[in-house]
């Protein structure tokens, strides 16, 4: 037996709660401005001469001579920064950022905004799940998840401002008094001098550089080790540039030739090479830690790394992997495998996560000064208030709400603005929030067009629960006069008048339903005459027994699945009182039942008529009806018993004949049975079945 969960109900903000007024997406106005700002959300958006773009660093494109000299040559910074801004109805703001530029801004404004605006900012899990599920068809990884991350971080920032608390307190409080930090740059010796607990540097050469490149890498690692001493932890960033054989050889040579070795090799392979990571760790994991995760997305990607035994340490980027909401799940998943989590970059966004997670022992600080000789804000001058490491530790101020940042740039550009009236449409028109009576009055006259009719939804009056009142968009074949019209085609005056009358009947009928049966109606739909006739044939099959008598006299009601459809016949007056002709037809219809016991009437409902009182119409005499043949009745118990006895007699005769045939075949002598003479004897007493049948006949 399976257990099936139903769909999620609509989650509405609490009455009087602060909600999200608007979601906006900005980009830095130009590449020059982004470089002048220090990169913003993209650390690679730096001017030439910066170590992060112009130092020889092995990468996925370094095997191509054309793109080997600089990572900017193949567009590592092409996407740029995107800033998501959440504005609450009380005027407070929240900001998050990622990479993706205008492409991410498009996704945020054109797609994700509908799940955010009008929502309660505390519902971060709900908003995240809806953004992710709605974009999974085009965005399982990469840019759409980065756009989602920016929105998620902005929500957490706004929520922190709303509650007046730092984000780490919203995540469960802090697990450490201060957070140790290691540095990433080309100068681990300077990192040690600045007090960092370790230094990570990029690997210069990859497999495309051959044996000479391997030898140059070993010499570089030896030089770094000599500059910091044997005891100082050093790590290597391979940035997805190696192959499994190359990484195995590199790890073994480091172990043999470099005193003190290295602590870990990071991102050796392409992110999707889970099997390769598992093989690499199995062969050299006892020599050096294998880490990755910087370019992995959502908990499902990290689950593959954990279940496959691919890593000794995870490095998700909070601004890329799915935001703080998903990064928290990743930490919980890793804790089940006793794998530590040390996020990549992301500055204050990862600091708050790590403050709250016991399995996150230290943070990364990407040294963003061009010569890697001083500590500067990770986000450049985009924000103020960014906490910076000091003496190898970072400390978060408990008095600063949210992430403690303030957006300072005024040259941000919103590439895809939306009109003010569009804000919040994602949650305004939802069940129990719209006055269905007022909305029903706004429904245009029922002249069928190519576009579906609008839906009106109930606001649940006391004692009533009417979820949907709408016009059916399903239409059977109609007369040419009622054929669908093209959008914008003029409506004839007579058709308009008929439509107005039907509209009045629709509203009056709805009021009568609510007054008569204050119970839940799943949907109220004005059906066409032809569709009513089809439904009325099986009327009792669908109507609730408590309401059958009332509705059978006034309306045609059917149900389909979990929806109840109420069709209003043309022969029902506006005051819902059947006319004289209607009473006669109802009486005739009730007198005739089909073999299922259902009413087989209402076949002659007129088309396009108005009530007697409104139009002065007097119904013509009904045409003579052909006599109906009596329908066969079900057999009585006595008849069924008699039929069973006859069946048993036939079975006995059939068995006797079969035995005689077998005996004649065994003797190999064909024999012909003489014809049996009719036996004359005394009449036998009638069987109990015959006596019962005779009594029934009498």
Can you tell me the mean pLDDT for 638-662? 68
The per-residue pLDDT for range 348-389, each reduced to its tens digit, is: 999 999 999 999 999 999 999 999 999 999 999 999 999 999
Question: How many whole angstroms separate alpha carbon 180 and alpha carbon 333?
Answer: 22
Q: What is the pLDDT of residue 432?
A: 41
Q: Say how many C-beta atoms besides its own lie within 10 A of residue 297's C-beta.
A: 24
Residue 542 CA to chain centroid, in angstroms?
A: 33
Which of 4-13, 159-168, 173-182, 211-220 is least confident?
4-13
Question: Which tokens belong to 413?
Answer: 């550009």
How far is Cα 134 from Cα 108, in angstroms, rounded to an integer?
Answer: 12
- 322's torsion region: left (phi>0), alpha (psi -120 to 50) or beta? left
Angle 257-258-263 (CA atoms, 0-180°, nearest 5)?
130
pLDDT (average), residues 535-564: 48
Count CA within 13 A, CB hemisphere, residue 73. 16
- pLDDT reading at 157 higher than 80: yes
pTM equals 0.64
Residue 402: per-residue pLDDT = 98
Percent of the chain with pLDDT over 70: 62
CATH for 167-394 is 3.20.20.120
* Cα 377 from Cα 389, distance rounded (Å): 10
Band (687; pLDDT cuts 50, 70, 90): confident
The band of 498, judged by pLDDT with boundaries at 50, 70 and 90, is: low
Mean pLDDT of the chain: 77
Domain borders along the chain are: 20-45+80-165+414-426, 167-394, 429-475+497-613
Distance CA 117, CA 21 (A): 6
CB atoms within 10 A of CB 613: 12
Predicted confidence (pLDDT) at residue 474 exceeds the cutoff of 50: no
DSSP code of 552? Answer: H
Q: Please identify which of the residues 295, 344, 352, 554 carries the catalytic annotation.
A: 344
**Quick one: pLDDT at residue 121?**
97
For residue 152, what is the enclosing H or E element?
A: helix 143-163
Q: Is 695 helix (H, G, I), strand (E, B) or coil?
A: helix
Q: CA 20, CA 13: separation in Å to the nearest integer?
A: 10
Instruction: Pick 497 or 10 by higher pLDDT.
Output: 10
Answer CATH for 20-45+80-165+414-426 from 3.30.930.10, 3.30.390.10, 2.40.37.10, 3.40.30.10:
3.30.390.10
Lowest model confidence (mean pLDDT) among 182-186, 224-228, 585-589, 591-595:
591-595
Task: Supply 334's token pair.
Answer: 């890793």
What integer pLDDT is reported at residue 4 of this predicted model? 62
Mind giving me the DSSP string for 482-529? GSPBPTTPPPPHHHHHHHHHHHHHHHHHHHHHHHH--S-BS-EEE--H
The pLDDT value recorded for residue 35 is 83
Highest mean pLDDT among 387-396, 476-485, 493-502, 568-577: 387-396
Query: Nearest 5°: CA angle at 156, between 152 and 162?
Result: 140
Measured between alpha carbons, how far is 505 from 573 in angstroms, rounded to an integer? 8
Mean pLDDT throughout 269-273? 98
What's residue 11's pLDDT?
87
> DSSP characters for 426-465?
HHHS-TTTS-HHHHHHTSPPS--BSSPPPEEE----TT--
**344 in active site:** yes
Q: What pLDDT does residue 611 have?
A: 42
Residue 44's pLDDT is what?
Answer: 87
- Whether the pLDDT of residue 451 is over 90: the answer is no
Q: What is the pLDDT of residues 453-463, one digit of tens each?
A: 444 333 333 33
Between residues 163 and 447, which one has the greater pLDDT? 163
């Amino acid at each position: 037996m399976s257990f099936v969960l139903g769909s999620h109900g609509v989650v509405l903000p609490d009455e009087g709660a602060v909600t999200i007024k608007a979601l906006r997406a900005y980009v830095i106005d130009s590449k020059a401005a982004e470089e002048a700002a220090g990169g913003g959300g993209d650390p690679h958006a730096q001017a030439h001469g910066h170590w992060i773009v112009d130092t020889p660093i092995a990468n996925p494109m370094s095997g191509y001579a054309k793109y080997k000299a600089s990572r900017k040559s193949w567009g590592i910074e092409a996407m740029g920064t995107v800033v998501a801004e959440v504005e609450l109805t009380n005027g407070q703001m929240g900001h998050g950022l990622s990479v993706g530029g205008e492409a991410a801004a498009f996704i945020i404004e054109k797609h994700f905004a509908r799940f955010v605006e009008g929502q309660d900012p505390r519902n971060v899990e709900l908003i995240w799940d809806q953004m992710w599920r709605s974009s999974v068809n085009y965005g399982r990884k990469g840019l759409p998840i980065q756009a989602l991350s920016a929105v998620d971080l902005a929500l957490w920032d706004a929520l922190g401002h709303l509650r007046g608390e730092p984000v780490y307190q919203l995540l469960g409080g802090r697990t450490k008094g201060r957070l140790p930090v290691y540095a990433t740059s080309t100068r681990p010796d300077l990192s040690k001098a600045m007090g960092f607990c370790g230094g990570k540097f990029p690997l210069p050469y990859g497999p495309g550089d051959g044996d000479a490149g391997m030898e140059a890498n070993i010499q570089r690692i030896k030089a770094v080790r000599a500059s910091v001493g044997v005891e100082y932890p050093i790590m290597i960033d391979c940035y997805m540039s190696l192959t499994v054989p190359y990484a195995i050889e590199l790890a073994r040579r480091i172990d043999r030739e470099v005193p003190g070795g290295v602590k870990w090799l990071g991102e050796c392979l392409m992110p999707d090479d889970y099997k390769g990571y598992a093989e690499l760790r199995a062969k050299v994991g006892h020599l050096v830690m294998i880490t990755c995760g910087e370019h992995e997305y959502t908990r499902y990607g990290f689950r593959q790394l954990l279940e496959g035994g691919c890593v000794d340490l995870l490095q998700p980027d909070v601004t890329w992997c799915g935001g703080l909401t998903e990064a928290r799940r990743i930490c919980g998943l890793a804790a089940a495998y006793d794998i530590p989590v040390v996020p990549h970059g992301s500055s204050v966004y990862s600091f708050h996560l790590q403050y709250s997670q016991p399995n996150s022992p230290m943070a990364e600080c990407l040294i963003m000064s061009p010569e890697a000789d001083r500590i500067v804000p990770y986000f450049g001058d985009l924000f103020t208030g960014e906490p910076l490491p000091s003496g190898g530790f970072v400390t978060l101020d408990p008095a600063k709400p949210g992430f403690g940042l303030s957006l300072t740039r005024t040259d941000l550009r919103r590439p895809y603005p939306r009109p003010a009236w569009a804000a919040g449409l994602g949650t305004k028109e939802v069940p129990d929030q719209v006055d269905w009576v007022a909305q029903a009055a706004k429904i245009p006259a029922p002249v069928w067009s190519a576009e579906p009719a609008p839906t009106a939804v109930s606001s649940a009056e006391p004692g009533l629960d009417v979820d949907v009142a709408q016009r059916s968009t399903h239409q059977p074949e109609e007369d040419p006069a009622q054929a669908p019209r093209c959008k914008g085609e003029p409506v004839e005056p007579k058709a308009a008048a008929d439509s107005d009358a039907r509209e009045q009947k629709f509203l009056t009928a709805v009021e009568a339903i609510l007054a008569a049966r204050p119970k839940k109606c799943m949907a109220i739909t004005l059906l066409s005459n032809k569709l009513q006739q089809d439904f009325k044939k099986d009327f009792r099959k669908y109507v609730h027994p408590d309401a059958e008598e009332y509705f059978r006299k006034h309306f045609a009601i059917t149900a389909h699945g979990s929806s109840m459809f109420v069709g209003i016949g043309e022969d029902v007056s506006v005051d819902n009182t059947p006319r004289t002709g209607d009473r006669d037809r109802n009486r005739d219809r009730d007198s005739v039942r089909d073999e299922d016991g259902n009413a087989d009437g209402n076949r002659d409902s007129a088309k396009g008529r108005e009530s007697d009182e409104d139009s002065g119409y007097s119904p013509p005499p009904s045409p003579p009806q052909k006599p109906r043949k009596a329908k066969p009745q079900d057999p009585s118990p006595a008849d069924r018993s008699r039929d069973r006895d006859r069946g048993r007699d036939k079975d006995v005769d059939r068995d006797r004949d079969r035995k005689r045939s077998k005996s004649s075949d065994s003797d190999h002598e064909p024999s012909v049975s003489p014809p049996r003479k009719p036996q004359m004897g005394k009449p036998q007493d009638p069987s109990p079945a015959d006596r019962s049948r005779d009594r029934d006949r009498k």
